[in-house]
Amino acid sequence: MKRLLVAVLLVVAAGAGSSAPGHAADAGTAWLHVRVEEPGKGSKVNVNLPLPVVEAALKAAPETIESEGHIHFGHHGHDMRLSDLRQAWRDLRAAGDTDIVTVEGEDGGHVTVGRRGDQVQVRVREHGDREQVAVDLPVAVVDALFSGTGEELNIRGALDELRKVRGHIVSVTDHDSRVRVWIDEDSSSQGAR
């Protein structure tokens, strides 16, 4: 179940989305779907939320985390500054299609972060192909996220861009579970298998 939490946090906190085939303009209410399958335990969890509910949850966030659709960054003695992340994003955006980070571990693990067309892609592979993570972040969503001022992330702006997205966002597969997060216009969608 921790993978479910990770997937939901990636979507809500990072405003992630996918511009894979199926990307469409707002034709109706966009629904965020999370599906967790654990065949060994015989369990399946489906979460289907309209994006306006995600926005309502954002509005209910504590003031120290969220204020007027922005998340404040770099407070309480944290060393990471949002201005550094913004600069890294500008550099990545200007570089075009490229792998900016590639890590190959002794255990065969492989991580890449790069840009492909209108997407920022994160890929993680461990234990051969038994454990895999795929995250696709549209450039427009990341642009909106970093459009805040000072040490603020603009989550509301990222959600506005996310409403335009259709398709898979996050996929996590390991030896005993599978997590998928996607957006479409079907309130009861089970997504592509």
158-170 mean pLDDT: 87
Torsion of CA 67, 180, 21, 15, to 10 degrees: 10
Chain segment 73-95, per-residue pLDDT in tens = 555 544 557 787 888 888 888 88
Record the pTM. 0.65
* Residue 36 pLDDT: 92
Residue 131 neighbours by CB distance under 10 Å = 15
Chain segment 22-60, per-residue pLDDT in tens = 333 345 788 989 999 988 888 889 999 888 887 777 666
* Residue 63 pLDDT: 52
Query: Which has the closest alpha carbon to 132: 148, 116, 112?
Result: 112
Residues in a beta bridge with 49: 32
- Characterize 61-77 residue by residue with b for buried, 16 or more Cβ atoms within 10 angstroms of its Cβ, and e for exposed: eeeeebeebbbbbbeee
Cβ-Cβ contacts under 8 Å for 19 (sequence gap 6 or more):
117, 118, 119, 136, 138, 139, 140, 165, 167
* Residue 191 pLDDT: 53
Q: Are 33 and 175 in contact (CB under 8 A)?
A: no
Domain boundaries along the sequence of the chain: 2-184
Q: Which pLDDT band holds residue 8 (cuts at 50, 70, 90)?
A: very low
* Residue 7 pLDDT: 41
Query: Which has the closest alpha carbon to 30: 21, 17, 20, 39?
Result: 17
Q: Which pLDDT band holds residue 168 (cuts at 50, 70, 90)?
A: confident
